[in-house]
Amino acid sequence: MKNRILIIAAHPDDEVLGCGGTIARLVSEGCQAYTLILGEGITSRDEVRKRSKRIKEISQLRQEAKAANQILGVKKVFFYNFPDNRFDKVALLDIVKKIEQVKRKIKPDVVFTHHWEDLNIDHQITYKAVLTACRPVSEETVKEIYAFEIPSSTEWNHPVKFNPNTFVDIAKTVEIKVEALKSYRDELREFPHPRSEEAIRAIGKRWGSAAGLNYAEPLYLVRKIIAETSAIKKDDNIKLRYPLKKDSKVIWNWRNHPEVRKNFFNTKIVSWDEHKKWFLQKIRDPHAKIYIATCKRKKIGVIRFETIQENAFVSVNVNPAFFGEGFGSLIICHGTNKYLK
């Protein structure tokens, strides 16, 4: 995958249901993720749409969407107000223009969106608008487009025409997906509904079994353009900088990687609240120094130096995307030189 990801969803919660595990995994590997939610997600519950009557509910749903996306590690969520389950009453060009506005801001490499054969009309139109907004002209940044499955929409359109050709291993992030979905208080249902906790895990197992994995999210690769790339090499210039508050989420994901946790006495996942408190304490602690290691604008790791009484401690976390490539020793070398200056 590339560095910048944009999830384009018709409604709040579609982004979690469709590719929540994938996004959490990619963020943990150093990608930057953004979400665009096109519809307000509420007013189809009324016979006649009156958005003014639903301002409070729409605002609450947006707060839930922000909370869910924060759990996944998404940097920012963009919202628009297209009428819920009435996208067919809106000019396609109006939807395309909104997508293009967000694309110009973040310049994504990869887009995840709905499948064109979903039962939901808004999903169908979102897919068409995405393809229109991401036409493969020379200046287009989007090189990959994936369509995801939405439980209780994709499989309810018969005959089912969703035939995934890409399977993402989410064994390490399926619980993050479930936790994110819990943020949507009115969207989570009781089993056996497809949008229940149990069903989400079961669907992950079902697709995992189709690909020899424990858990997987299915995707359909719509388009992939392979251009020349410049991969990071060990002899490339590694830079160190002080951490920002926004780095906290990435470091949290790195700390919770299974290969990292198994080296601790306590292998339990570090909660977000616990990590956030720890992170803020460390960046303010005069006896601790934290540096973020970057190369070609990608975060490749973090190193922390800390003195407690007369003892000195060093801790390193490497971006899981670069495990086994020797970057840990380089980060220690560069970090030590900077710390001792």
**Contact criterion met (CB below 8 Å) for 299 and 250:** yes
Lowest mean pLDDT among 9-23, 46-60, 160-174: 46-60
pLDDT of residue 53: 66
**Cβ count within 10 A of residue 2:** 15
Confidence of residue 266 (pLDDT cuts 50, 70, 90): confident
Mean pLDDT of 90-94: 96
**Contact criterion met (CB below 8 Å) for 160 and 154:** yes
Mean pLDDT of the chain: 88
pLDDT of residue 84: 86
d(CA 329, CA 341): 19
For 137-162, write each residue's pLDDT tens digit.
877 889 999 999 998 878 777 787 88
Indicate the SS3 state at residue 66. Answer: helix
**How do beta strands 216-224 and 4-9 pair?**
unpaired
pLDDT of residue 47: 57
d(CA 170, CA 22): 6
Q: Over pLDDT 90: what percentage of the chain? A: 54
Mean pLDDT of 50-70: 87
pLDDT of residue 245: 86
Mean pLDDT of 82-89: 91
What ranges in 135-271 are assigned the alpha helix state H? 174-181, 197-209, 248-255, 258-261
pLDDT of residue 195: 81
d(CA 225, CA 240): 32
**Contact criterion met (CB below 8 Å) for 9 and 122:** no
The count of C-alpha atoms lying within 13 angstroms of the C-alpha of 97, restricted to the half-sphere facing its C-beta, is: 6
What domains are there in the chain, each with its CATH number? 4-224 (3.40.50.10320), 239-340 (3.40.630.30)
Confidence of residue 1 (pLDDT cuts 50, 70, 90): very low
Dig out the tokens for 301 from the structure: 């790791």
Dig out the tokens for 141 from the structure: 């940044």
For 101-120, write each residue's pLDDT tens digit.
999 999 899 999 999 999 99
**Per-position DSSP letters for 74-122, written without gaps between them:** -SEEEEEEEPTT-GGGS-HHHHHHHHHHHHHHH--SEEEEE-TT-SSHH
271 contact partners, CB below 8 Å, separation of at least 6: none
Lowest mean pLDDT among 42-51, 158-167, 311-320: 42-51
What is each CA distance from 21 to 5, 29, 102, 295, 339, in whole angstroms?
14, 13, 23, 26, 37
Which has more pLDDT, 59 or 326? 59
**Cβ count within 10 A of residue 153:** 25
Which has more pLDDT, 229 or 237? 237
Q: Over pLDDT 70: what percentage of the chain? A: 94
d(CA 66, CA 318): 27
pLDDT of residue 152: 81
What ranges in the chain are assigned the alpha helix state H? 14-28, 55-72, 92-106, 121-133, 174-181, 197-209, 248-255, 258-261, 272-284, 327-340
Dig out the tokens for 95 from the structure: 């939807």
Indicate the SS3 state at residue 49. Answer: coil
Mean pLDDT of 288-307: 90
Lowest mean pLDDT among 109-118, 153-162, 169-178, 267-276: 153-162
Which has more pLDDT, 137 or 211? 211
